[in-house]
Amino acid sequence: MAAARKLVELFYDVVSPYSWFGFEVLCRYQHVWNIDLRLRPAFLGGIIHATGNKAPGLLPKRGEYMLKDIERMGKYYQVPIKVSAEHLQRLLGKVPLSLGAMRFLTAIDMTQPQFLEPVSREFWIRFWSQHEDINQPASILAVAAQAGLPSEQAQKLLEMVSSPAVKDRLRATTDDAMKYGAFGMPATVVHLNGEQHHFFGSDRIELLGSIIGEKWLGPVPSLPSSKM
């Protein structure tokens, strides 16, 4: 009898480059490991404010390190991220502003969840590879189109962004992340034998695998022949 699949929740914000790394790796491993991956778009700015954390760019030495670290990790995880000192300083010198994008992803999660993965990815590409806006309506619609979301559906989702239902859902998801112990992103939560295991960052996936009894196969695992 096959073992029950383990629920893995990924709380993320597209303004976070490390969330992008964790997102891509877990999306790859959802087809390799015995897991059900649940994507949970949340708001990093809300978590930073509520927990008293600080944006990474406020510490100059950390900003210098991140510039090198993001470049190295992008190559390792095979994620097409591009970053410069000017870009990093502009983005991380204050609390991240990604509210429009995250509300749009929340609306997708509520009504068109099959598009959540591709639209999230396109937001990261636009923000971290192309260094373009992700909050203005035209920018959001451009991301949706790039991800293959029909324009009529995208427009309806955009109209939902300012609704109480979407605002409440994003706030609730952000609160859920903090209840599990999140103070930054990505925050990954594994549900195992009635317990929840919280992991911070994109470099804990190998440890996550050991907790659930799965083997780390590198950043780009091959799909087992039995699952092909």
pLDDT above 70 for 222: yes
The predicted model gives 23-43 an average pLDDT of: 97
> Is-contact 207 15, C-beta < 8 A?
no
Lowest mean pLDDT among 36-50, 98-112, 157-171, 210-224: 210-224
Q: Are strands 35-41 and 187-192 parallel, antiparallel or unpaired?
A: unpaired
Q: Which residue has the higher pLDDT, 157 or 227?
A: 157
Which amino acid, one-letter code, is at 64? E
Residue 66: its pLDDT value, please?
A: 86
Strand ranges of the sheet holding 195-200, from the earlier edge strand across to the other edge: 35-41, 6-12, 187-192, 195-200
The predicted model gives 135-148 an average pLDDT of: 96
What percent of the chain stands above pLDDT 90? 76
Q: Which domains does the chain have, with CATH numbers?
A: 6-219 (3.40.30.10)
The DSSP string of the chain is -PPPPEEEEEEE-TT-HHHHHHHHHHHHHTTTSSEEEEEEE--HHHHHHHHT---GGGSHHHHHHHHHHHHHHHHHHT------HHHHHHHHSSS---HHHHHHHHHHHHH-GGGHHHHHHHHHIIIIIS---SSSHHHHHHHHHHTT--HHHHHHHHHHTTSHHHHHHHHHHHHHHHHTT-SSS-EEEEEETTEEEEEESSS-HHHHHHHTT-----SSPPPPGGG-
pLDDT-based confidence at 44, cuts 50/70/90?
Answer: very high
